[in-house]
Structure 1
Amino acid sequence: MSDDVGAVHRRVVDAGGEVLEAPHGTRFGSGVAAYVCTARDPEGSLWTFGTYRGPSA
């Protein structure tokens, strides 16, 4: 897993992938901030990459 969402975004673009949401800051329901992007693969599956790691244990 890469913490560099921008690098993942560039790989998708360089591979000719479909970017649905460019990298941007957001907040999840818990209020935790994250930096994310979303893309669709050739089979139609959606992938969201981000810096959010979930709640601490």
Structure 2
Amino acid sequence: MRAGTSAVYVVSDDVDAVHRRVVAAEGEVLEPPHETRFGSGAAAFVCTVRDPEGNLWTFGTYRGPSPE
């Protein structure tokens, strides 16, 4: 894959801490921490950043559907 063509979702219990680390490192924040809903209707607290190669990283509290 070419650099800048990936997007990753990473589960985090502390999205605000991830955001603070990105800001302290002078990283590029595309979406600051905020509440959102996914297509399933599930709520999550997320932020999205871009790494130096252009890849997108979304850090959020959504852990996926719970097993039944």
Which structure has the larger Rg? Answer: 2
Structure 2 unaligned residues grouped into runs of 5+:
1-10
In the alignment, structure 1 residue 21 sits paired with structure 2 residue 31: yes
Structure 1 unaligned residues grouped into runs of 5+:
none
Seq. identity, %: 81
Q: Who is 2:53 aligned against?
A: 43
TM-score (ref. length: structure 2)? 0.80
In the TM superposition, what is the alpha-carbon distance from 1:2 to its structure 2 partner?
A: 3.3
TM-score (ref. length: structure 1)? 0.95
Runs of 4+ in 1 over 4 A off after TM superposition: none
The alignment's C-alpha RMSD in Å is 0.9
